[in-house]
Amino acid sequence: MSATSQIRALTPADITARKGGQPIVCLTAYTTPMARLVDAQCDVALVGDSVGMVLHGLPSTLGVTLEMMILHGQAVARGLKRALMVIDMPFGSYEEGPAQAFRNAARLMAETGAAAVKLEGGRHMAETIAFLVARGVPVMAHVGLTPQAVNTLGGYKVQGRGADAARLRADAQAVAEAGAFAVVLEKLPARLADEITAAVPIPTIGIGASARCDGQVLVVDDMLGLFTDFRPKFVRRYGELGAAAEAAVAAYAADVRARAFPGPEHEFADDAAGAKA
Catalytic annotation, residues: 186
- Binding region for 3-methyl-2-oxobutanoate: 49-50, 88, 118
DSSP H or E segment with residue 104: helix 98-112
What is the CA 261 to chain-centroid distance, rounded? 38
Q: Spell out the residues 6+ positions from residue 8 whose beta carbon is closer than 8 angstroms to its own.
A: 82
Regarding beta strands 204-207 and 24-28, do their DSSP bridges make them parallel or antiparallel, or are they unpaired?
unpaired
Annotated binding site, which residues? 49-50, 88, 118, 120
Binding-site residues for Mg(2+), in ranges, read 49, 88, 120
- Give the rounded distance of the alpha carbon of 129 from its chain centre: 19
Compute CA distances 245 → 55, 220, 249, whole Å: 16, 16, 6
d(CA 190, CA 48): 23
